[in-house]
Amino acid sequence: MTSARIEVEHLGYRYAAGGAPALDDVSFSVGQGEFVSIVGPSGSGKTTLLRCVAGLAAPTSGEVRIDGVVVRDVPPGLALVFQDYGRSLFGWMTVHDNVDLPLRRRALSGEERQRRVASALAEVGLAGSAARYPWELSGGMQQRVAIARAVAYAPQILLMDEPFASVDAQTRSDLQDMALSVWRAHGSTVLFVTHDIDESVYLADRVVVLSPAPATVAAEIAVDLPRPRDQVETRAMPAFVTQRAAVARLIRRPGVGTP
């Protein structure tokens, strides 16, 4: 890790003044081009953490820095993929217009926008669905539209909040591989929140394990698995099984490994 892209330092967050904190003291960093998973028990404030990184929520204590600059508002060049694709996509727009909308904020020519939308949709295998509406598509296809929207935006940092939690298992593995190929093709820095231990290990270079709320970092585990990863081969490797078990143990008995 030569240069840290995202630095989270002593981050704390409480929903109401005087209320129970969701995040207690969370610190970790993500290097340029790294794929980092954040995994933790449900209710451990994973989404809140991501919202703080995205500048959508202001931390109660500590800070988030992106490229050394403290995040106070949504930083430029960042894209966010939500779990609720159905609510994140705009029903009054076609798939094409959904992907195109964020590009309108950028100084891009019409042809360039057109080109980016077409190539992003092709990348997620939805080239033929540009003229359809999100609600005409299956859940997995809708989430691909959301990913295409992020891809077309060409973000330096891609944040994903349990993006595959509400699709079926087969679709989930397809989408995981798609996320990996997108990441490889664009070299963006990815922060991927999930509660699925297998998924966190399968995708990432490093897994940050959160303790139950109020969250701290229980451990960071470097994933030592060759790339490109393969749904069958990678998951059958002894190293995958070991690391998966290490994460699972931490989630079940948090506090172990805390410095």
Partner 1 sequence: MTVGRGVRRSSRRTLRGLTGGLVLFVGLEVLTRAELVSPTYLPPASAVVATTLAILVDPEFLQAVAGTLAGWGLGLIVASAIAIPLGLVLGWSWRGYRASTTAIELLRPIPSVALIPLAILLLGRGLDMRVALVAYASLWPILLNTIYGVRDVDPVARDTARAFGFGTLATLRRVSLPSAAPFMYTGVRVAAAVALIVAISAELVGGGSTPGIGTWMLERTQPGVDRELMYAGIVVAGLLGLGIDILMLAGERRLFGWHHRMRSVS
Residue count of the chain, please give it: 259
How far is 191 from 207, CA to CA, in rounded Å?
10
DSSP string of 74-104, one letter each residue: PPTTEEEE-S-HHHHS-TTS-HHHHHHGGGG
Minimum CB distance to partner 1 smaller for 88 or for 173: 88
Task: Work out how close the CB of 163 gets to partner 1 at its nearest, in angstroms, rounded to a whole number.
Answer: 13
CA distance 246 to 142: 33
Contact between 183 and partner 1 (CB under 8 A)? no
Count the residues of the shown chain that bind partner 1, applying the rule CB under 8 A: 23
CB of 76 to partner 1, least distance (A): 6
Q: Does 105 bind partner 1 (CB under 8 A)?
A: yes
For 160, phi then psi, to 5°, come to -125, 125
Least distance to partner 1 from the beta carbon of 87, Å? 4
Instruction: State in angstroms the smallest separation of the CB of 78 from partner 1.
Output: 7
Nearer to partner 1, 70 or 236 (CB): 70
Dist. CA 209–CA 157, nearest whole Å: 20
Per CB under 8 A, 78 contacts partner 1: yes
Candidates 62, 86, 212, 214: give the one binding partner 1 (CB under 8 A). Answer: 86
CA distances from 257 to 45, 132, 246, 249, 254 (A): 19, 49, 10, 10, 8
Asked whether position 15 contacts partner 1 by CB under 8 A, the answer is no
* Contact between 76 and partner 1 per CB under 8 A: yes
Place of tokens 């969701």: 22
Question: Can you give the binding site for partner 1, defined by CB under 8 A?
Answer: 51, 54, 56, 74, 76, 78-80, 82, 84, 86-88, 90-92, 101-102, 105, 133-135, 153
